[in-house]
């Protein structure tokens, strides 16, 4: 159908045709814009707070003009890479641009719809996020947005300046005699690929208006011109002009790669840890440049080529890069396969020895609370069970325990015997326990100081994402030394380093350093119980031997081998288990898929370790097993047991499938999303079945965020609004009642 006049000029306007062309012919490039758009509109991974990484970027623990400037630089790099890739793949379909001055600039100018749409979305949602989530003043928001636009424009200006000096149109290219032209030297394999690519495009490019005919184009930001006729130029002339950018793109991609390698090499310096959103955008930049390079070779088969490369890389990693495992820092991997780790010979005497050793700890706990006995009463023994949930769980657990301990006059931690749980909750509890120990040792004056709360509340995600998207998948060269052994630096290392920086390095010690403080009952015992992926068992990590948690020392009929748990200290003794870095033990229990990598332990078989929340997100089964083992002593020496349960998850939600697709996915999706609710049901059954020996002497006190209506991200990064919701939750009626009940019971 023919169109005439103004309608033809609109329909065949170059930006409009480029939009249609991308949607039809370059869905891979469009996909990146869709993902970025999903991030900034909180339509993609909103539960994990992905939007905050882009809309309110942090740099050096601050949200300011500098963090927005870096985000702008990364966005500018992505826009240029998008245009380069689009130009290399699709420019041959529009031969008229070879007749224009500065053809790549004109192509970039007309290819504005996706970049401009993203930038406008970013500005709108970023302003909203800064106002609603970070409570930033108006004038700072203005400076932040200007900094973003300046950073983006600055990079685009530098890139286009380079292309201005190296690109020629058809007139300039053929104005001088061929023998006077300077030809860049290109290595032969690349030269062959470029020649084949040009030959293919010459065969497939239109010599007339064709399918992608163009009537008008943007000559400048506000200047529209009609296209020139190009049929009197030979295909060779046109495509030599269009082919110039292949070499330029190679230099640009090399520059991006050099930037990434520089940042990755100096990842220990906080200055080079750019905002997480900028890291993701920089990775996208590299990916689309790689895609355009593959397209030059494989054309319409390029997407399949990417799939084959991914599969091939995965195969190569298992065959040639098996040494690139994520390690448990402090363990000796030099003879990793020389010991059968699941064949510890447990005897009744070993179980009894561990039982008696823990009785000594309980007796020391009794001495520590001697003042209560002198008053004619028996103290309550406290178990602390805390759930996982990333940074919100770490802050919530630390805040609840510190708040309750201060209101009880220090009695909560003094009367606590065991801390168990998962993920972030264990990090928060371990941090408060360490500060409590430092106070006892005279190293600090006040473990309630707000500076410690600010420290545990800081972002941990930036260096993790930085390492994940810019380094771990292809650059693994740098190592670090711990306990005399070398380990690769990856996102697990980045997580621990940032956690240690945030907490003043007080947790950076080997597991064995807690053995004596626990034995003397100066601090509660901590049992970290991550999940063994291979068989679903739990790996019980403690500085003291605890074999009684999986076999009853009094029952000779019990198997000599654990059937549900593995005791880390004995199973990995030959590998230096007691030297395990304590932050690594915490990381084992907080191994969120993809964010922090799965740990592979030495020995035979190789046990792979994941998040504790997979098997017991609340630690209740460990506490009940401990209580069952020592129920006789506890019954004689205490007035009962208090289970302090701290949960950072949302309220139960009943999900009803709507639509065919929802009903198809519901059986799998609901089981996954309700995994912790299922554990709650199992825990209730455990309590019910244990009621005969609890004898009504146990009190369960709950502290919950119940943040369903006020969503808090499941992430290692929280915005200011989420932190405020968290801190205010302690004043909710149910949590206030729990505080009052706890203080009364400890009195």
**pLDDT tens digits, one per residue of 76-135:** 999 999 998 888 888 777 877 777 778 888 889 999 999 999 999 999 999 999 999 999
Q: Which helix (H) or strand (E) holds 100?
A: none
> Rounded CA gap, 82 and 95, in Å?
20
Q: What is the pLDDT of residue 303?
A: 67
Q: Quick one: tokens of 471?
A: 């380094």
**Local structure of residue 327 (DSSP, 8 states):** P
Crossing angle for the helix pair 390-407 and 733-746, nearest 10 degrees? 50
Give the SS3 label for residue 579: helix
- pLDDT on residue 666: 47
Residue with tokens 């309630």: 448
Query: For residues 504-535, b (16+ Cβ closer than 10 Å) or e, as one string?
Result: bebbbebbbebbebbbebbbbbbbbbbbbbee
351: Cα within 13 Å, side-chain hemisphere: 21
- Cβ burial, residue 16 (10 Å; 0-12/13-18/19+): middle
Bridge partners of 13, per DSSP, are 216
Helix or strand run (H / E) with residue 507: none
Beta bridge partners, 642, equal 382, 699
- CA distances for 595 relative to 189, 206, 351, 463, 614, angstroms: 38, 47, 38, 11, 15
Q: Give the pLDDT of residue 650.
A: 58
Q: Is CATH 2.60.40 correct for 348-652+679-746?
A: no
List residues bridging with 532 in a β-sheet.
Answer: 609
Put simply, whether the predicted model's pTM sits higher than 0.85 gets the answer yes
- The Cα 595–Cα 461 span in angstroms is 9
Write out residues in the chain with pLDDT < 50, as ranges. 1, 176-183, 191-192, 196, 199-200, 202-203, 207-208, 552-562, 652-658, 660-672
Continuous H helices in 216-270: 235-242, 244-265
The domain limits of the chain are 5-303, 348-652+679-746
Peptide bond between residue 589 and the one before it cis (omega within 30 degrees of 0): no
Phi/psi at 430 (5° precision): -65, -35
């Amino acid at each position: 159908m023919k169109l005439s006049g103004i309608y033809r000029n609109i329909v065949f306007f170059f930006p409009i045709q480029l939009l249609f062309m991308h949607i039809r012919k370059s869905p891979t490039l469009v996909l990146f814009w869709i993902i970025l758009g999903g991030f900034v509109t909180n339509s993609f991974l909103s539960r994990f707070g992905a939007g905050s990484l882009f809309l309110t970027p942090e740099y050096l623990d601050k949200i300011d003009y500098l963090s927005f400037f870096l985000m702008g630089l990364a966005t500018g790099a992505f826009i240029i890479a998008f245009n380069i890739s689009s130009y290399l793949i699709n420019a041959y379909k529009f031969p008229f641009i070879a007749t224009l001055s500065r053809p790549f600039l004109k192509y970039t100018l007309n290819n504005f719809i996706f970049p401009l749409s993203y930038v406008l979305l970013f500005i709108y949602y970023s302003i909203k996020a800064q106002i609603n989530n970070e409570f930033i003043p108006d004038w700072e928001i203005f400076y932040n947005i200007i900094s973003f636009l300046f950073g983006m424009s600055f990079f685009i200006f530098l890139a286009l300046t380079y292309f201005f000096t190296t690109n020629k149109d058809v007139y300039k290219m053929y104005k001088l005699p061929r023998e006077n032209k300077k030809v860049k030297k290109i290595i032969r394999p690349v030269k062959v690929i470029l020649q084949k690519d040009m030959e293919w495009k010459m065969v497939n490019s239109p010599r007339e208006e064709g399918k992608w005919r163009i009537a008008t184009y943007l000559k400048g930001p506000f200047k529209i011109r009609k296209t020139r006729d190009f049929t009197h130029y030979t295909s060779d002339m046109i495509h030599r002009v269009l082919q110039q950018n292949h070499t330029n793109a190679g230099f640009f991609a090399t520059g991006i790669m050099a930037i990434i390698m520089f940042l990755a090499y100096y990842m220990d310096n906080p200055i080079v840890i750019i905002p997480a959103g900028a890291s993701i955008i920089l990775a996208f930049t590299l990916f689309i440049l790689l895609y355009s390079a593959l397209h030059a070779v494989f054309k319409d088969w390029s997407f399949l080529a990417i799939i084959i490369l991914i599969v091939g890389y995965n195969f190569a990693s298992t065959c040639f890069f098996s040494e690139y495992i994520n390690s448990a820092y402090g363990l000796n991997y030099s003879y990793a396969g020389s010991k059968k780790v699941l064949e510890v010979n447990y005897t009744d005497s070993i179980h009894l020895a561990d039982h008696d050793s823990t009785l000594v700890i309980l007796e020391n706990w009794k001495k520590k609370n001697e003042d209560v006995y002198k008053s004619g009463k028996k103290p309550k023994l406290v178990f602390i069970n805390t759930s996982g949930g990333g940074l919100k769980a770490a802050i919530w657990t630390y805040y609840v325990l510190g708040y309750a301990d201060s209101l009880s006059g220090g009695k909560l931690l003094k009367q606590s015997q065991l801390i168990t749980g998962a993920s972030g909750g264990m990090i928060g509890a371990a941090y408060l326990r360490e500060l409590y120990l430092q106070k006892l040792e005279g190293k600090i004056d006040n473990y309630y100081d707000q500076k410690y709360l600010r420290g545990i509340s800081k972002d941990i995600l930036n260096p993790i994402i930085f390492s994940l998207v810019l380094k771990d998948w292809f650059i693994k060269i740098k190592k670090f030394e711990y306990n005399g052994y070398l380990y690769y630096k990856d996102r697990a290392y980045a997580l621990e380093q940032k956690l240690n920086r945030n907490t003043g390095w007080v947790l950076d010690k080997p597991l064995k350093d807690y053995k004596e403080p626990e034995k003397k009952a100066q601090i509660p015992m901590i049992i970290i119980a991550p999940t063994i992926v291979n068989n679903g068992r739990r790996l019980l990590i403690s500085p003291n031997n605890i074999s009684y948690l999986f076999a009853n020392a009094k029952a000779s009929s019990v198997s000599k081998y654990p059937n549900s748990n593995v005791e880390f200290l004995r199973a990995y003794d030959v590998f230096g288990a007691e030297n395990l870095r304590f932050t690594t033990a915490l990381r084992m229990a907080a191994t969120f898929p993809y964010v922090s990598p799965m740990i592979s332990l030495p020995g035979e078989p190789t046990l792979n370790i994941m998040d504790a929340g997979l098997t017991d997100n609340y630690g209740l089964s460990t506490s009940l097993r401990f209580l069952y083992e020592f129920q006789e002593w506890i019954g004689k020496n205490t007035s009962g047991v208090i289970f302090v349960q701290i949960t950072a998850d949302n309220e139960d939600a009943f999900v009803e499938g709507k639509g065919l697709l929802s009903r198809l996915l519901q059986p799998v999706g609901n089981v996954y999303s309700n995994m912790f609710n299922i554990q709650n049901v199992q825990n209730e059954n455990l309590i019910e079945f244990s009621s005969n020996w609890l004898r009504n002497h146990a009190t369960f006190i709950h502290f919950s965020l119940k943040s369903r209506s006020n969503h808090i991200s499941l992430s290692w990064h929280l915005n200011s609004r989420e932190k405020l919701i968290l801190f205010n939750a302690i004043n909710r009626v149910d949590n206030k009642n729990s505080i009052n009940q706890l203080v009364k019971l400890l009195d």
